[in-house]
Amino acid sequence: MKEASEHDSWSVGQSYDHYMGRWSRLIAKEFLNWQNIPKYARWADIGCGTGALTRTILDHADPASVVGVDPSEGFIAHARKEIADERATFEIGDAQDIPVPDNTVDVAASALVLNFVPDKPRAIGEMQRITRPGGTVSFYVWDYPGGGMGFIDTFWKAAATLDPAARKLDEADRFPFCTPEGLERLCREANIQGVTVKALEVDTVFPDFEAFWHPFTLGAGPAPGYCMSLSTSNRERLRKRLEELLGGENEIRLTARAWAVSMTNI
């Protein structure tokens, strides 16, 4: 099992939005409903990417401010361009060394990021550092090991039938900690007690097979990165295999489940 992959490409905002951002915005809404944070809170969105969670916070949580942090210059440029709101600022930076002063936010949240961070306890410690005592530290990751990210799980299972090497690129294999037990274990490693873990779910609906397939050809993210690394003929074989599995014309409806963790900062 290997956490980092050469196919983890995060840079082109529009491609990411089409592949993942539109679903991460839906799950962000579920997350906010669950968190129910009072108005006028100061938020940090760690690993903000193109700003899916930041946008959702601005639209639905009435924040005083949101600072989004991500190492991808391309994503930060996209977020700055798309989110023109005086309450929002964006910084290039890493979850393991967050460029935000101590005790300056009420909520530090991180959406679908922790699995890509090499030192996860350190990232959680950084989120605690920037959050005031009594504030909230929370994060969520897709349920890769449980097959809860249906469209990605379907992609990798089909890819593995054609290319055994694809199996070790599957996020289910790379990120086994993305389960309730794994997340609780991670929190214990980070010396945190009393966390709450919750499943968040939305439907991912594709009107037909082409709508399902197209985002995999855009290159942003592990599965699209792998897809575009294939030769044209191998990519076509994979496309056909998936089409056989899912059907060509009918609507494709799959579940996207994330495990969310929340704790009060001490």
Ligand X SMILES: C[S@@+](CC[C@H](N)C(=O)[O-])C[C@H]1O[C@@H](n2cnc3c(N)ncnc32)[C@H](O)[C@@H]1O
**Contact set with ligand X (CB under 6 A):** 10, 20-21, 24, 47-49, 52-53, 70-72, 75, 94-96, 111-113, 116-117
Distance, CA of 104 to CA of 87 (rounded, Å):
15
Comparison of 47 and 135: residue with beta carbon closer to ligand X: 47
Comparison of 47 and 215: residue with beta carbon closer to ligand X: 47
Tell me how far, at minimum, the Cβ of 49 lies from ligand X, in Å: 3
C-beta atoms surrounding 222 within 10 Å: 21
Rg (CA), the chain: 18
The DSSP code for 97 is B
Comparison of 75 and 151: residue with beta carbon closer to ligand X: 75
Comparison of 48 and 187: residue with beta carbon closer to ligand X: 48
Tell me how far, at minimum, the Cβ of 24 lies from ligand X, in Å: 3
Comparison of 74 and 135: residue with beta carbon closer to ligand X: 74
Tell me how far, at minimum, the Cβ of 38 lies from ligand X, in Å: 22
Comparison of 93 and 135: residue with beta carbon closer to ligand X: 93
Tell me how far, at minimum, the Cβ of 166 lies from ligand X, in Å: 19
Q: Which residues of 109-139 are buried (b: 16+ CB within 10 A; e: fewer)?
A: bbbbbbbbbeebbebbbbbbbbbeeebbbbb
Query: In this chain, which residue has its C-beta nearest to ligand X?
Result: 49
Where does residue 213 fall: left (phi above 0), alpha (psi -120 to 50 degrees), or beta otherwise? alpha
* Half-sphere exposure at residue 220, Cβ-oriented, CA atoms within 13 angstroms: 18
Structure tokens at 173: 């294999």
Tell me how far, at minimum, the Cβ of 247 lies from ligand X, in Å: 27
Q: Give the number of residues written for the chain.
A: 266
Tell me how far, at minimum, the Cβ of 71 lies from ligand X, in Å: 5
Q: Which residues contact 162 (CB under 8 A, 6 or more apart)?
A: 234, 237, 238, 241
Tell me how far, at minimum, the Cβ of 215 lies from ligand X, in Å: 13
E strand segments, the chain: 42-46, 65-70, 88-92, 105-111, 131-142, 196-206, 252-264
Comparison of 116 and 155: residue with beta carbon closer to ligand X: 116
The DSSP code for 94 is B
